[in-house]
């Protein structure tokens, strides 16, 4: 086996490595640092497929490894972040497990059952990735929102809280009903039958890639204007453009 065949898998493992670090940071409430490693993981996730195609070394192993890495970076991390956000926002009763500390070191740990619903994102991501691996149709398009795109939607919430400095946005994001709505919408979009275009360029001509160039241009403009608050809007534009262009997907 040629050395070049290992390059895409090594890049995929870098995605998994970054995702694992992001999990540790998110669990410790270091959201900004966690999101940075999520972005790095998604970066590697894009380029493992790119190099696999360029080097013509696509393999069944690479497909499975890619999904396993995505399960951590784009499945577990957004679930944990939503769990943490719901923990901050939920005002219902919590379970105090300090009485269990005789056999588990959980002294003073409190668990809000509502917050556990955030992990539905992780479950929905796992289901989507399993279906994707078995679906031979999704070569030039996606059926349902890709897990990296969904992850960007979820991780944009703590970024908006951190950097937008808007009381109105903060009150919305820290509203448990809003977070639950985002959670269930996320789970639906991940496993919906909506056909969404892929950002894969077979050539760079405008005619064949008009929808991709339009999306990239709109995204850049909105990011400059709205900063991190633009990310949910970009996901919405991605879905709308796909729905308007279903015949060409």
Q: From residue 113, give the alpha-carbon distance in Å to each of 42, 77, 81, 92, 201.
A: 30, 19, 15, 9, 44
Alpha-carbon 98 to chain mean position:
33
Structure tokens of 179? 């977070």
In the chain, where the domains are located: 3-248
pLDDT, tens digit (0-9, with 9 covering 90-100), for 155-191? 999 999 999 888 999 999 999 999 999 999 999 999 9
Average pLDDT, the chain: 86
The CATH fold assigned to 3-248 is 1.20.120
pLDDT, tens digit (0-9, with 9 covering 90-100), for 72-130? 999 999 999 999 999 988 765 554 444 444 444 455 567 788 999 999 999 999 999 99
Give the global pTM: 0.87
Report yes or no: 59 and 5 within 8 Å, Cβ to Cβ.
yes
Report yes or no: 152 and 223 within 8 Å, Cβ to Cβ.
no
State residue 72's pLDDT score. 97
DSSP 195: E
Structure tokens of 1? 């086996």
Please give the Cα distance from 226 to 34 (Å, whole number). 22
Q: Which of helix, strand or coil describes residue 142?
A: strand
Question: Which H or E element spans position 197?
Answer: strand 195-197
State residue 249's pLDDT score. 62
């Amino acid at each position: 086996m040629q050395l070049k065949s290992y390059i895409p898998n090594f890049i995929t493992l870098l995605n998994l490595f970054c995702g694992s670090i992001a999990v540790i940071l998110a669990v410790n409430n270091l959201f900004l640092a966690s999101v940075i490693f999520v972005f790095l993981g998604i970066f590697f996730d894009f380029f493992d497929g790119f190099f696999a195609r360029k080097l013509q070394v696509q393999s069944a192993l690479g497909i499975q490894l890619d999904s396993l890495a995505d399960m951590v970076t784009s499945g577990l991390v957004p679930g944990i972040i939503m769990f943490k956000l719901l923990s901050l926002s939920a005002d219902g009763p919590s379970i105090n497990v300090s009485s269990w500390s005789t056999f588990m070191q959980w002294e003073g740990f409190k668990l809000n059952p509502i917050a556990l619903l955030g992990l539905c994102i992780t479950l929905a991501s796992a289901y989507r990735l399993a279906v994707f691996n078995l679906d031979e149709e999704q070569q030039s398009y996606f059926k349902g929102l890709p897990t990296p795109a969904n992850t960007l939607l979820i991780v944009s919430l703590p970024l908006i809280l951190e950097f937008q400095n808007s009381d109105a946005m903060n009150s919305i994001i820290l509203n448990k009903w809003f977070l639950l709505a985002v959670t269930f919408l996320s789970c639906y979009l991940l496993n919906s039958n909506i056909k969404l275009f892929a950002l894969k360029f077979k050539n760079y001509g405008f005619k064949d890639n008009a929808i991709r160039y339009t999306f990239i241009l709109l995204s850049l403009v909105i990011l400059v204007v709205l900063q991190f608050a633009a990310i949910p809007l970009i996901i919405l534009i991605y879905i709308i453009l796909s729905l308007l262009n279903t015949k060409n997907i």
